[in-house]
Chain A
């Protein structure tokens, strides 16, 4: 009975610890908005350059009710999500098998490695003019641009993940009498999955980031379109709203993929 208060106190401390850092993060966001409100409220910065949080909020309400450029907001978001997801999924769907093949067959790897390695550090935006010349200003060029960015991140990670499967795990598989194909699908692929998913996560982030650039190509709808169009006409609050929506959705995507990863790779500990 004597140490009961102590344990309760310890438990309370645990509870406090659990909320401590999320609270700090929350306070940081609130603080940033307050700072924003202060800077604009005291007229330190002209509202033409930086609108106040209130202005942005009012304008957001307006856009939600009336849409932007003849389209409801949801249509803009829909187009952006459609372009980003299709480019991302196509890229990943092709990159995983190609990456695995690259490491499985050294010759194929030697052929394509320098090509992918060369393209990776080039910002996707650099290809916009070429994309327009080659594929026009329709959806093809936009999705292809996102596809290329997405592909490039997952392909090299898949190849690297495959190569880093411990030799001993492969030996354990052959020892059990697995065929080459079984070894590939049931041992090497699952063992490489953590590295592959790291690539997929990067691809998702890049796909969403490249979106705005892709929508610079003569889009009539989309979040990137809102930002560039509003920018051209100095509708700064609209630019902010576009940026905010992109940021929030980007966070959401990151969160979804992380949750998926935790579920799929719960086993990834020390072994």
Chain B
């Protein structure tokens, strides 16, 4: 259902000077994200992680190669692949509930169909008491929870998360990671999760990809040996520490090289 396949995907951005070859942001990336899988993508900043995500989302199209979702080539953005942005892209003039129901409302889904879902997802992200608040009245963590609930409302097979917890403080980030795993165990979406936090990548991912410096290539792939459901105790597990060490080394080579 929600299998994502990238086949030799390349993205070149034109440069300002005419005649120049352009900047290769993503270079022949091939990866498969299987149904219900959580795949994390880490790498130095500016390595093209977000470009990969934006292409799968349909915001940008590859210069070369192709991307298929459930064997169909993607054409533009759509609610089957919901994006959770790093900065909460909420509609400031709408309440939490209006934000969350915005997609179904605009697609003409009858109220009776989405009303129960809305209540359910607002509860799932723990915002029961804030349904009629406006985004400016919420903390950063709460805003990200609204974004997650808004994404889930569309019953997406795929969640694309672009450093969604990057701007949060350490404790909120831990809570959000646990929340995400809980949400995943309930709805089992396929998740591509971009982060620069290796702990986060291992804690959430079934697999972790490391991307190289620009031009962004997939450098290495690591399998995470922990079964889900997971809890915070794995963070101090020796296996966790060993894996973290290997991934950090892989990234450090990129920074030094």
Contacts and interface: CB of A to CB of B under 8 A. Distances in A.
A binds B: yes
Interface in A226-271: 265-271
Given A168-B87, A172-B89, A176-B103, A270 B77 contact: no
B76 A186 contact: no
B83 A271 contact: no
A137 B33 CA distance: 75
B143 A172 contact: no
Contact of B77 (A175, A186, A190, A191): A175
B79 A172 contact: no
B235 to A, nearest CB: 31
B92 interface: yes
Contact of B57 (A166, A175, A182, A268): A175
Interface majority SS on B: helix, strand, loop or mixed? loop
Given A171-B59, A268-B92, A270-B136, 15 more contacts: A168-B85, A169-B89, A171-B57, A171-B83, A174-B76, A175-B79, A175-B81, A176-B107, A177-B77, A177-B78, A177-B106, A178-B106, A186-B102, A269-B134, A271-B88
Nearest to B156: A175
Interface in A151-209: 166, 168-169, 171-172, 174-178, 182, 186-187, 190-191, 193
Q: Among B76, B79, B106, which residue has the most Cβ atoms of chain A within 10 A? A: B106
B100 to A, nearest CB: 11
Interface string B220-232: 0000000000000
Contact of A176 (B85, B87, B134, B154): B154
Nearest to A166: B89
Nearest to A168: B89
Nearest to A169: B89
Contacts of B136: 267-271
A199 B234 CA distance: 56
Contact of B83 (A172, A190, A269, A270): A172
B89 A171 contact: yes
B106 A182 contact: yes
Contacts of B88: 271
A265 B91 CA distance: 12
B43 interface: no
Nearest to B107: A177
B140 to A, nearest CB: 10
Given A171-B59, A174-B77, A175-B77, A267 B92 contact: yes
Contact of B135 (A166, A187, A191, A267): A267
Interface string B35-68: 0000000000000000000000111000000000
A175 B82 contact: yes
A182 B103 CA distance: 11
Contacts of A190: 91, 93
A267 B58 CA distance: 30
B192 interface: no
A271 B143 contact: yes
Contacts of B106: 176-178, 182, 186
Nearest to A187: B91
Nearest to A174: B77
Contacts of B135: 267, 269, 271
Nearest to A177: B79
Contacts of B107: 176-177
Contacts of A187: 91
A100 B45 CA distance: 36
**Chain A to chain B: the 9 pairs with minimum beta-carbon distance, closest first:** A269-B136, A176-B103, A172-B89, A271-B92, A168-B89, A177-B79, A271-B135, A174-B77, A267-B93
Contacts of B137: 269
Q: Among A166, A177, A193, which residue has the most Cβ atoms of chain B within 10 A? A: A177
Interface string B84-99: 0101111111000000
Nearest to B76: A174
A193 B92 CA distance: 11
Contacts of B78: 175, 177
21 contacts: A168-B87, A171-B59, A171-B83, A171-B89, A174-B58, A174-B77, A175-B78, A175-B82, A176-B79, A176-B107, A176-B154, A178-B106, A186-B102, A190-B93, A265-B93, A267-B134, A268-B92, A268-B136, A269-B136, A270-B136, A271-B88
A24 to B, nearest CB: 30
Q: Among A168, A182, A270, which residue has the most Cβ atoms of chain B within 10 A? A: A168
Given A182-B106, A186-B106, A271-B143, A169 B77 contact: no
Contacts of A178: 106
A269 B135 CA distance: 9
A172 B107 CA distance: 14
Q: Among B57, B77, B90, which residue has the most Cβ atoms of chain A within 10 A? A: B77
B83 to A, nearest CB: 5
A192 to B, nearest CB: 11
